[in-house]
Copies of this chain bind each other. A is one copy, B any other.
Amino acid sequence: MDKECEILDSFIRFRGLRHTPQRNVILRVFLSAEGHLSVEELHALVKKQDRSIGYTTVYRTMKLLSESGLADKVEFGDGIPRYEHKYNHRHHDHFVCVKCGKCFEVAHAGIEKLQETLARERDFTPLWHTMQVFGLCKGCRG
């Protein structure tokens, strides 16, 4: 968490932006929360720390965290973007249960390799990718 604060810190300095208590609160709340959070969920958590922080500021700050490489915006096809931690987290794909909504993260070098190969065959330079597998988790299959 110290490291992440430092990253935001230098990003803010680099861009000529300013430190604010709101940004600190939002970063802290985001980092201490697990899983994939929508802006709405994040705002609800943030308000528990400081009810005066508006959702506009959460939107703006999450954009900032994305740009600084601390957060990653992911989409699971329900139209609601969510944010997950990015710093110190290897890239992974998502297995989403269509019944309970739970989401498993899967990192596998083979997939990345295969994508690289397919891209190269088509003279395409891959920069990043997203993959979601939708299905039923163990508990929901019965």
Contact = CB atoms under 8 A, between A and B. Distances in A.
B115 A114 contact: no
Interface stretch (A32-40, A42-50, A130-138): A130-138
Contacts of A75: 75, 77
Q: How many subunits of this chain does the assembly comprise?
A: 2
Given A111-B111, A114-B108, A131 B128 contact: no
A106 B129 CA distance: 14
Given A106-B118, A118-B108, A135 B124 contact: yes
Nearest to A121: B106
B141 A119 contact: no
The 3 closest A-B pairs by CB, nearest first: A131-B131, A126-B135, A129-B133
